[in-house]
Amino acid sequence: MKTKKVEEFTAGYYGLCTAGGMLSAGTTHLAITPLDVLKVNMQVNPIKYSGILSGFSTLWREGGPSALWRGWSGKFFGYGVQGGCKFGLYEYFKKLYGDALVDQNKGVIFFLSSLADGFPKLYANEGLSGFYKGLFPLWGRNLPFSMIMFSTFEHSVDLMYRNVIQRRKEDCSKSEQLAVTCLAGYAAGAVGTVISNPADNIVSSLYNKKADTVRQAVKKIGLVNLFTRSLPVRIAIVGPVVTLQWFFYDTIKVLSGLPTSGGLRRHQEDRGLIGCEATAQ
């Protein structure tokens, strides 16, 4: 018997993408709450929290296990909502812009689609007040990260199928497709982290009252430290988190009979730009 599948680009499809995004983002951010707590402390007090292992030891000694899980509920529910908006809106706008901008470079479409993620991410992190408090550094962190993350993921997927595997997506097994998703996800998380690190340090300084203005925060942190402070722990957090988010998200899609993420579908198939049409079951 044929398994009933969700048809792409329908209300059910976008609903599935939203639900998958909620589950993938909420669970992964919950899992790395201790690392995120450490990251903020390393940014605010780099002398006291000078390393990952010593930082965890200090947190445990001074606050016990509960100190490592501070704010876990907000991360689970807040990032769950953000993840649902992120993946659901990205899929929607990628299709929308892909149909409208058929002659544009794919990077332009991925760039425009990724803008949909920055606003829900800002809301998940800071609530409504986040749109006004520290407005520019927050947008300077969330919007570039979202755009770079999605664009890097899409281009990494395309690069691996074209130049590494040298086979079309539908000619690869599901496990191979999910492996591509994981590699592209890690690359996306790492690149996005490097680009957004200066703004992330500024935001942490402002919100922990270590500085009153962006200029004061930059002066206190120093130009070099803007790019390097807490970068290893952020990569340790964001790289695996983004990888797991894409893996869980695409696993849900595969189990629902849908292809894995990456590439512009349906509206470009007739032009032969990508071979992404799923084989008939």
pLDDT of residue 199: 87
pLDDT of residue 27: 94
**Is the pLDDT higher at 131 or at 210?**
210
**Which of 74-88, 183-197, 203-217, 252-266 reaches the highest mean pLDDT?**
183-197
What percentage of the chain has pLDDT greater than the value 70? 78
76/32 Cα distance (integer angstroms): 10
Question: How far, in Å, are 17, 163, 201 from residue 44 at the CA level?
Answer: 36, 43, 8
Least confident among 96-110, 129-143, 180-194: 129-143
The distance of Cα 58 from the centroid of its chain, to the nearest Å, equals 29
Q: CA angle, corner 251, sides to 245 and 257, nearest 5?
A: 140
What percentage of the chain has pLDDT greater than the value 90? 44
pLDDT band, residue 213 (cuts 50/70/90): confident
With a cut of 50, say whether residue 216 has pLDDT above it: yes
**270: buried, middle or exposed (CB in 10 Å: 19+, 13-18, 0-12)?**
exposed
Domain ranges in the chain?
Answer: 88-271
**Is the pLDDT higher at 271 or at 235?**
235
pLDDT digits (tens, 9 = 90+) for 23-55: 999 999 999 899 889 988 988 888 899 888 999
**Is the pLDDT higher at 256 or at 2?**
256
**Taking the model in full, what pTM does it have?**
0.76
Q: What is the mean pLDDT of the chain?
A: 82
With a cut of 90, say whether residue 260 has pLDDT above it: yes
